[in-house]
Amino acid sequence: MTTQVVYSEKFSRHNNMSHPENASRLHVMIEEIKKAPFFKDLEFIEPIILDEKELKDVHTDRMIEQIKEMSIIDESWIDMDTYVCRSDYETARLAAGGLVKACDNVLKEKADNAFGLIRPPGHHATKNRSMGFCLFNNAAIAANELSKKGKKTLVYDFDVHHGNGTQDIFYDRKDVMYQSIHLSPHYPGTGHFDEIGIGEGTGYTVNCPLSYGNGNNAVSKVLEEVFLPIAKQFKPDLIIISSGYDSHYMDQLGGLRFTTDFFGEMTAKYQDIQSKIVCTLEGGYNLQQIGKCLVSQLGQLTNKKVKFNDSANEDENIDGVLNQIKNELSPYWKL
């Protein structure tokens, strides 16, 4: 089994050490996986810079030009959360291009699966706006490239924050399914259970807003009763997992109660649907934990599981929102 990891030191050029989304995130993750029993089995690959045409297939010209212009100075801010550094127009295209390359390699069976250890992250970037620490939407760009090849992609997002950007980009399409579990109310304020898509995309957006304190058991129930049955019926050619480790119970920007092992366990559930899986880094800001979360996922991908056996008290109450989700989606899927 071959697991590829997309990585480049150039991703560290996007950096502000006073900001939670900084270059040290990648550094601690690399150091953690070096200690893992599967490290020697990983195949590290260099990313490629995304062509501007592929970028324009997903994002507006104005949005792209904004990042390009802001990348000629040392640092500037799009909003109070999102910074842009010198060379970020190239760095962000390198992140997106790396994920496109990983998906292409898995699709062509050059690898069994892959992980995009890339930044800046992407799932908050909409068609026309960079926001929420994100410049371009890596997962959406990769999924769109797969669509051009006639392939169906499922994006599963377990970041504590709703991936409003990924949802926005595919909200009226049925070639890409977006599934998200996330804390609500929380930034960015989207992802309600009744947001299920529009037009021919109706039923292809699946949201589960979680309450503060929900964790492994609540989410496992949502996956088994709604997300996975829908995924099986959708029959994706490839699954992209937006891996946001801020849903870990110790993350300072979180509020959910996922244990470290649960990241690998969620990945395993989606492997049962489709073995062609490519994960991409989104959030996660506890520098003592994010490397372990990555090890949990990579251990599952390489079939050399690493268990941490940590535990977290959680609120298991999920039935109310679960029934609401079923009511919204049962006209479109067998649940």
Q: What is the set of active-site residues?
A: 124
Alpha-carbon span 181 to 126, nearest angstrom: 18
Dist CA 307 CA 230 (whole Å): 29
Residues 6+ apart with CB under 8 A from 109: none
Distance CA 57, CA 86 (A): 24
Q: Do 94 and 51 touch, CB atoms closer than 8 A?
A: no
Helices 260-271 and 290-302: angle between axes, nearest 10 degrees: 30
Omega before 209 cis (within 30°)?
no
Cα separation of 121 and 281, whole Å? 6
Q: Which residue has the tokens 């690493």?
A: 306
Residue 306 burial (CB count, 10 A): 20
Angle at 271 between CA 297 and CA 256, to 5 degrees: 50
User: Can you tell me the distance from the alpha carbon of 300 to that of 266, in angstroms, rounded to the nearest whole number?
Assistant: 9
Residues with Cβ within 8 Å of 177's Cβ and at least 6 positions away in sequence, in order, are 152, 153, 154, 155, 170, 204, 205, 206, 230, 231, 234, 236
Residue type, 243: S
Residue 47's closest CA among 100, 115, 98? Answer: 98
User: Hey, is 40 helix, strand or coil?
Assistant: helix
Q: How far apart are CA 328 and CA 207, in angstroms?
A: 10
Distance CA 114, CA 219 (A): 24
Q: Hey, is 280 helix, strand or coil?
A: strand
